[in-house]
Amino acid sequence: MTAAPADQVLVAFAGLPGVGKSTLAGRVGAALRAPVLPVEPVERALARSGLVGDVPETAAYQAVAGLAEVQLGLGLSVVLDAVNPVASIRGLWHDLAERTGVPLRVIEVHCGDVAEHRRRVEARLPAEPDRFVPTWEQTLVRRAEYEPIIGPRLVVDTAVDVDPLPAILSYLT
């Protein structure tokens, strides 16, 4: 492990579909001039290759962890955009941070207004069913399966009418 640049950080966004993770991850990536690595496109690519079920999701997280490690090795900060639903998956980011000597900052995003969250989820639905764009009912199932995050993190409620970016950037430094 080599010493990471003082301002280098590994940012892991977590939260249910439709809460605003990707929007915030993109804004943070732009502010940090850091690559944003979303898990969903990797899951889609694995599915197009015929991999379905739980294995591709785990494989997608592993693939993104590998890509993140390369970027961190180049001295860049990295922003991870994923649901990160269970502790075992989130453990990948802790292990990566430890292995690379880069501080990990977890940002848990939720939408405290259930009606607004549902509206956002339903607004994302394509005309044709897409297993990577969950319905509201599927989002509720994911919420029931979502394991609480234990440990340091910043919790952001996107239903609050305040721009969270300044607080997020402050948390990251």
CATH number of the domain that 143 lies in?
3.40.50.300
Which residues lie closer than 8 Å to 145 by C-beta, 6 or more apart?
A: 85, 86
Indicate whether 71 belongs to any domain: yes
Of 12, 173, 4, 9, which is closest to residue 91 (Cα–Cα)? 12
Domain span at residue 120?
10-172
Indicate whether 153 belongs to any domain: yes
Within the chain, what is the greatest distance between any pair of CA atoms? 49
50 confidence band (pLDDT: 50, 70, 90) = confident
Number of independent structural domains in the chain:
1
Indicate whether 3 belongs to any domain: no
Kindly tell me if the per-residue pLDDT of 53 is higher than 90.
no
Indicate whether 114 belongs to any domain: yes
What is the model's pLDDT at position 59?
87
Indicate whether 4 belongs to any domain: no
